[in-house]
Each structure stands twice: as structure tokens, then as C-alpha cells.
Amino acid sequence: SDNLGVNASGNLTIGGVDTVVLAKKYGTPLYVMDEDMIRRDCKTFQKSIDTYYDGQGLVCYASKAFSCKEIYRVMQSENMGIDVVSGGELYTAVQAGFDVTKACFHGNNKTTEELNMALDYGVGRIVVDNIYEMEHLNQLAAEKHLTAPILLRIKPGVDAHTHNFIRTGQIDSKFGFALETGEAYEAVKKAISYPNLKLRGLHCHIGSQILDTQGFTAAAEVMMEFIEKLKKELGYEAEDLNLGGGFGIRYTEADDPLPYDAYMEAVAKVINGFCASHDVKRPFILIEPGRSIAAPAGITLYTVGGIKEIPNIRTYVSVDGGMCDNPRYILYQSAYDALVANKAGQPKTEKVTIAGKCCESGDLIGENMEIQPCEVGDIIAVCATGAYNYSMASNYNRLQKPAVVFVKGGEDRLAVKRESLDDILRNDI
Ligand code: LLP
């Protein structure tokens, strides 16, 4: 992406900082996040809300994409909302000083402990997934003499064109209340009847890494029709409409995403058009971009430890990380661009398989990756790894999770320390 460059030494830079210097200073594998770019993308989404909805909306960063204290501090200072999906994310946000009245709490099976945390911390919107949770939350709120602000997660019946594992809007999904069966309608009736729940509105999320506007506009239309039906038949007017995240990004040249504002404009056209021609007021619009804010801003740096040429088949380049820090290839066969950071100015003339160090043949960063000719000791940079890499990292094979460094204004700082061997042992009895 446009935050990457090559300096006079021929090294890759991110946000103007030399990645080879970062690799030396902090060691590898290393996640590097460009804070300037994160802030820029937050502002891009916020500007769309200002332009199309007169500022009557909130951009909630979906922190499952990348979560640590520092990112919540950045989000707080950008006046963003957040989406959290667990006690762990909520706790991290609270500990970072984030104002969780601007948080949406998601999940299809929140525990009692998590629901209590949400109530105690004053989460602004608890997104109720199912009828059991609704009843349970009403009970917990009653015990605390509180009224829980909720949204209902609706499955709009829209099929997003994306990987099967990250499609969520269709009827056969574990998330939310189905619209076409009448389940969602009954859920709204129920929610407005509970004394300790305050139904602020509705939510939907159709999937992730979506590269066209069609699914988003279809979902917006369906949700507005539902809002109108609720007003007509139940006299209930939704204040909030949360449309979720899912905006696709460019991982490789094969991906052709739209500028973020184009998705926003297309959806706003549907919503504003609907409100102009029907008897419903425009709800407060929330969106939950995760990947689109975190992914393009991040890279991962590795050191090459060995190269194995298998004649006429392939060349394996082994790096000091792999599925533990980036499980997206083994999960979804995701494609990434990579380059040799210390030879970034040179042409990419090789095609290699970059392999991780885990005891697992499928532990690859990618196959057929075009890179510069490389040798042992070189630094490899994998691009657009800022989302769903660190947040999905594991300790398989008892590998230690890498450090995370933020760069901003040409300066670097540690955001998350590299795990130590004693961190690995911390909970062993
Ligand atoms: N809102 C809700 C309710 C979600 O479930 C998600 C993502 C988002 C927002 C953010 O979606 P985004 O803007 O990041 O596309 N691990 C997968 C992605 C799983 C996404 C889960 N939900 C991956 O690595 O591709």
C-alpha cells in the first residue's frame, strides 16, 4: 500500500521507518502497525458518515481484527466507537481508558460473566444474538436495577460473495435472528416488552472481505423495510441501525476493492432514498470496519533461516514464524504479497513458497509468492497483515507471540512486548 516505500539503502520502509532497522532493533518475527495510516482510515470512514448522514452516526472499529491496549488508545483519541466480542476485548479496552459507552458488545454465546461485565462497565450497546440471551440479560439487568441498552442482531438473508467461513448474513448462520422466518419480528416484540431492556435498534453484518457494494446495499434495503414494518405494525421506531463491517481490502493484485467511501456512498443512497420515500425517520447509522482499518496498516517481518530447492517443483523459503502469527493461509488459503525487505529496490524475479516453522506441512505463508532473490539472513516482509494475524495468533508448538511495534510520524515504539519463555509457562502448575 501507499505507506510502504524504499529508502536510499534499498530497504523497505513503513510510514517512513526502515523495516530492516526495526527487525534489528526488536527482533523477528515482528508485527509493525502504521498508526498514521490507521488514523487516516478512521477519518475516511468518519468523513463518509459526516457527508452522507450529517454526522448522525458512529464508526465502531471492530477490534477482533487487532486488539491490544494501544489500539484502543488510538481509537479513543480518534473519537471512534469500538466493537468488542468478549470479556477479554472489553477488559482490554477498559484498561486502556476507552469510553465503552461507545462500544458494541457482540457474540452468539456471551457468558454470564461477560454480560455482567458489559452491564457493570456501562457498555453502550449490547448486541443480543438470541432469545435465551435476551431473557438472561433482562434478568441480570433487573438484579442490578439497570436498563440494558441493546441492539438485536438480525440475519437479513443476504448472501455475501466471500469465503464460506466468513459469510454471516444468510439464514444458515449461527449469528442472530432470522428475518424470513418471522423470528426477528417476534424478537423485537419480546425485546420491547422486557422492563430491563431498552431496544435501541437493530444490527446486521453480512460477512467480511466483501469486494462489491451489492450485498451491502441489499442488506441496507432489507433492514430499512423491516424498520418500516416495525413502525407500522408495532409502533416501534428503531433509533439505531448498525450495518456491521466487511469492507474488502487489497491483499494482492488479484483483489480489486472499492475505495471505502464508495461502499458508504452506495449504502447511504439506499438509506436516504428509503427515508425520503417512506414514513420512517433515518436511524443513527453505525458501521463496524475491522479489517479495512487494521489490515493495510500492518506488515510482518521475518528472518529467512533456510532455503530448500526441490528441483522442478518448488523452493521453500523457511521463516522464523508462520501459522502461529499468521494462521490465515492454513485457515482460508489467503494470499499475501511479500518482498525481501533488505532488497526492496530490486526486481522480484523469484517464485517461492514461504514456509513457517511449525510442525505442520500446511504451515505456509503462501505458495507461488513473487519475491526478490533471497538468501539466509534476509528479512522478509509480508504485507497487509494488520488484521486477523496478531489477534488470531497462537502458541502452537509453544512458540512465543511476536512483539508489536507502532510507527507514527517516522518514529517507532513498542506496543506489545514479545512473549518470553516464562510467559509461555505462566499458567503451568
Ligand atoms: N461486525 C461484526 C458483527 C463482525 O462479525 C465482524 C467480523 C466485523 C464487524 C468486522 O468485519 P471486517 O470489517 O473486519 O470484515 N478471521 C477472518 C475474519 C472474521 C470476521 C469476523 N467478523 C479472517 O481472517 O478473514
Asked whether residue 46 is domain-assigned, the answer is no
Q: What is the residue-wise DSSP string for 85-143?
A: -SHHHHHHHHHTT--GGGEEE--SS--HHHHHHHHHHT-SEEEE-SHHHHHHHHHHHHH
Asked whether residue 131 is domain-assigned, the answer is yes
Nearest atom, ligand 1, residue 127 CA: 3
Nearest atom, ligand 1, residue 331 CA: 24
* 221: amino acid identity, one letter: E
- Residue list, annotated binding site for pyridoxal 5'-phosphate: 246, 288-291, 388
Calpha distance 254→200 (Å, rounded): 40
365 CB-contact burial (10 Å; exposed 0-12 / middle 13-18 / buried 19+): buried
- ipTM surpassing 0.90: yes
Task: Classify residue 366 by its DSSP letter.
Answer: E
Asked whether residue 237 is domain-assigned, the answer is yes
- Residue 246 CA to ligand 1 centre (angstroms): 6
Same domain, 156 and 175: yes
Total domain count for the chain?
A: 2
Please name which of 216, 249, 220, 254 lies closest in space to residue 368, comparing C-alpha atoms: 254
Same domain, 308 and 273: no
Tell me if 81 sits within 8 A of 286, measured CB to CB.
Answer: yes
Same domain, 109 and 253: yes
Q: Which residues line ligand 1 (CB under 6 A)?
A: 62, 65, 83, 106, 166, 205, 208-209, 244-247, 288-292, 328, 388
Asked whether residue 413 is domain-assigned, the answer is yes
Task: Report the residue among 208, 331, 389 best suited for mutation to probe ligand 1: largest number of ligand atoms under 8 A from its CB.
Answer: 208
Nearest atom, ligand 1, residue 210 CA: 15
CATH code, domain with 70: 3.20.20.10
Determine which residue's CA is closest to atom 19 belonging to ligand 1: 166
- Residue 207 CA to ligand 1 centre (angstroms): 7
Per-residue pLDDT of the chain (429 residues; tens, 9 = 90+): 789 999 999 999 999 999 999 999 999 999 999 999 999 999 999 999 999 999 999 999 999 999 999 999 999 999 999 999 999 999 999 999 999 999 999 999 999 999 999 999 999 999 999 999 999 999 999 999 999 999 999 999 887 666 555 566 677 788 999 998 999 999 999 999 999 999 999 999 999 999 999 999 999 999 999 999 999 999 999 999 999 999 999 999 999 999 999 999 999 999 999 999 999 999 999 999 999 999 999 999 999 999 999 999 999 999 999 999 999 999 999 999 999 999 999 999 999 999 999 999 999 999 999 999 999 999 999 999 999 999 999 999 999 999 999 999 999 999 999 999 999 999 999
CATH code, domain with 301: 2.40.37.10
Same domain, 302 and 289: no
Same domain, 321 and 263: no
Same domain, 30 and 164: no
Asked whether residue 85 is domain-assigned, the answer is yes
Same domain, 282 and 254: yes
Phi, psi of 30 (to 5 degrees): -145, 130
Cell of 287: 458501521
Asked whether residue 214 is domain-assigned, the answer is yes
Of 294, 309, 331, the one marking the end of a domain is: 294
Same domain, 285 and 303: no
Of 294, 316, 343, the one marking the end of a domain is: 294
How big is the chain by its Cα radius of gyration, in Å?
23
390: containing domain: 4-34+297-425
Calpha distance 381→301 (Å, rounded): 5
Same domain, 68 and 202: yes
Tell me if 307 sits within 8 A of 340, measured CB to CB.
Answer: no
Asked whether residue 48 is domain-assigned, the answer is no
Q: What is each CA distance from 110 to 32, 152, 200, in whole angstroms?
A: 31, 14, 19
User: Of 275, 359, 374, 383, which residue is the catalytic one?
Assistant: 359
Cell of 52: 452522507
Tell me whether residue 374 is one of the annotated catalytic residues. no
Same domain, 227 and 318: no
Same domain, 128 and 212: yes
Same domain, 273 and 327: no
Q: At what angle do helices 214-234 and 183-193 cross, to 10 degrees?
A: 50
Cell of 89: 476485548
Asked whether residue 47 is domain-assigned, the answer is no
